Amino acid sequence: MIDEKKLVLDSSSKLVDPSGKEITELYQKNRELVSINKIPKNVQNAFIAVEDQRFYEHHGIDVRSIARALFKDLIAGSKVEGGSTITQQIAKNVFLSGEKSVMRKTKEAVIAVSLENNYSKKRLLEIYLNQLYFGHGAYGIQAASHYFFSKDVTELTPSEAATLASLPKAPSGYSPILHPEKSKKRRDLVLSLMQEQGFISSEEAVRAQGKTLGLKINKKAESPWFASYIDLVLNEAEEKYNISNDELLRGGYTITVPLNADLQKKAYQLFKEDSYFKGTVSGSQASFIMLDNKTGGAVAAIGGRDYVSKGYNRVTKSRQPGSTFKPLAVYGPALQENKFQPFSMLKDEPIKYGNYAPKNPEGYSGETTMYNALIHSLNAPAVWTLNEIGISKAKKYLEETGVPVDDNGLAIALGGLEKGVSPLNLANAYRTFADNGQYSDAYFIEKITDRHNNITAERKEEKKPVYSPQNALYMTRMLEHVVTEGTAHYGTYGGDLAGKTGTTSYPGKKGAVMDAWFAGYTPEVTGALWMGYDRTDQSHYLTQGSSAPVRLFKAILRGSKYDNSKKFEVPSGIEDLEDPIKLQPVQNLTADYKFKGFQLFTLHLEWTAQQDSRIEYRIYEQRGNEEKVIGTVKGENTFEMPYSNIFSRRAYKVVPFNTQTGQEGPGTDYVSP
């Protein structure tokens, strides 16, 4: 009749950070198992005194105790002392249903005797004290001690022990919170029983009865900001480590997670501020994920603005990524395939590719650098570049960074995907750039240990190179400029930040935004933030684009532990990306002859040069209808040509040359000396 598996009591699990600090508890029943060796004798004796004073003498049932209990109950006028033995209560509470019948009482007695024959008194008392319900959601003596007195069971006084011992018979009726006077009276009776049975002295009983209940309620604060993260932990435990949600909630596990509780709470609170969410009606949603750059551990995750446990977790739900996909699907692969460099020139024209004709919202320049195309999120150059490197090549890199797509069209360049991508996967793909081009899986669980401190699950890190450190740095530098001067300049944040915006429009409705994104990283963390409606239609859409997620992303970082002076480092042996050369028209060209002795006449040209020593100036000579370059200078504002013929009919002009792009800028008109 004894199923020993039933003696394995449910126990709360807990989330802890990498330092071992407890973050929160997970449970179906709030129970913390504690060894009998850690339960003080005064606490043990309080329960024995009121429930089973001959506990150490009987063998499961005690006729004398039943008779004595009935007598004392009659004198007191209330239920003071239990008639069933502690062992019988274990039999009833653990092994039997709540039915009241002669057969059930018979089974109870038989099981009690069997328990006594198979387990020591010490073990039986441990089981009993751990399985009791004390009211207010507290199961077991340890959880009750923490709840009612905010202390460990090892610190309980005789008075506090008596208060707890008075509860199991009627947790609600004797609740010291709901019925303090009734609870104190019951406690004092327990103390008297302890004195009568020799567990405490008369003076100790009088002193303890003279005390108030001394409650220090430890109602664990509601922590709704953890709900999204906890569900992601539960899902990972089930999917990766085959530990069911039910088992995790009742198995007494310790789950080490990379969560930063302060950042999680801050993100949750900012998600409640309506000023960041502009839509046609209330109910717009958002999700956010932040990962540690080196490990991939999730330091924060918000599944929605009003997320509830086991809800629709938008961290793992796919949406159209828009232009946040350009670095992943186009420019990263283009760099790695050695097809282009940051200052390579890309076509910026309205080109039609079959039935697909991408457009720039604000016109075309004919050609532009990758750097400029990325900063200003130009569509035409992105599609042209993808066409140049090939869709199959781009998809290979997408798969290697954890965002595989089934699509086969050039719309991939602009994030036009059939299924979309989740914030979690998008952030982890961007983390590849932040981690010197290496990819590894993101995670929520570092390790899980059971109640006996045995490791039952542990993350194994496996990194693989996708981009070279050189190209990863190139991408970081370009994405930094997206934040400082490009589409992600909105909001304020003092630290180094690289990232990309993304906006998708709702078809057929001018100005209607379906998805607004920002994905980016600091030297320490990488994140993605999405905004939109769960279902966008003619009356449910955002009225602003990616500026909102950019501002919110920066607000979450601002003032956090990641808001510091750390800079993006240049790895050893890697060449940093220069700032772009920006050519300005050459002005104030003068040309004259100077007499210099044996050199006779020397042609002297002089102009106003830019404050950039990298600029090369080309000197053109015009003779009739012909012109040619007769010399170049770099970072100078003069040019001289000795032995010049002062009678020749020649003219000269100066043209700036961009050594990064190989392009000439606007030069001067021809000037004759």
**Residues tagged active-site:** 51, 323
Dig out the tokens for 388 from the structure: 């140049």
Q: Can you tell me whether residue 98 is helix, strand or coil?
A: coil
Question: What are the angstrom distances between the C-alpha of 531 and each of 226, 284, 509?
Answer: 20, 7, 18
For residue 385, what is the enclosing H or E element? helix 379-389
> What is the distance between the alpha carbons of residues 522 and 14, in angstroms, rounded to a whole number?
30
Burial of 549 (0-12, 13-18, 19+ CB in 10 A): buried
> Alpha-carbon Rg of the chain, whole angstroms?
38
Residue 359 · residue 458 · CB < 8 Å: no
Residue 380 · residue 346 · CB < 8 Å: no
Residue 463 · residue 440 · CB < 8 Å: yes
Dig out the tokens for 80 from the structure: 């003071």
Question: What are the angstrom distances between the C-alpha of 482 and each of 145, 260, 425, 547?
Answer: 55, 27, 21, 12
Residue 164 · residue 141 · CB < 8 Å: yes
> What is the distance between the alpha carbons of residues 105 and 111, in angstroms, rounded to a whole number?
10
Q: Can you tell me whether residue 367 is helix, strand or coil?
A: strand
| Strand ranges for 453-570 from DSSP E | 455-458, 464-465, 498-505, 513-521, 525-532
Interaxial angle between packed helices 469-485 and 423-434, expressed in degrees from 0 to 180 and rounded to the nearest 10: 110
Tabulate helix, strand, coil % of the chain (nearest 5).
Answer: 35, 20, 45
> What is the distance between the alpha carbons of residues 95 and 114, in angstroms, rounded to a whole number?
12
For residue 366, what are the β-bridge partners? 348
Q: Can you tell me whether residue 210 is helix, strand or coil?
A: coil
β 366-369/345-348 pair status: antiparallel
- DSSP H helical segments within 22-139, as ranges? 41-51, 63-76, 86-90, 102-118, 121-131
> What is the distance between the alpha carbons of residues 461 and 447, in angstroms, rounded to a whole number?
12
> What is the distance between the alpha carbons of residues 516 and 555, in angstroms, rounded to a whole number?
16
- Measured CA angle at 601 (ends 597, 607), to 5 deg: 120
> What is the distance between the alpha carbons of residues 460 and 646, in angstroms, rounded to a whole number?
79
Half-sphere exposure of 154 (CA within 13 A, CB side): 5
Give the contacts of 634 (CB within 8 A, at least 6 positions apart): 613, 614, 615, 616, 617, 659
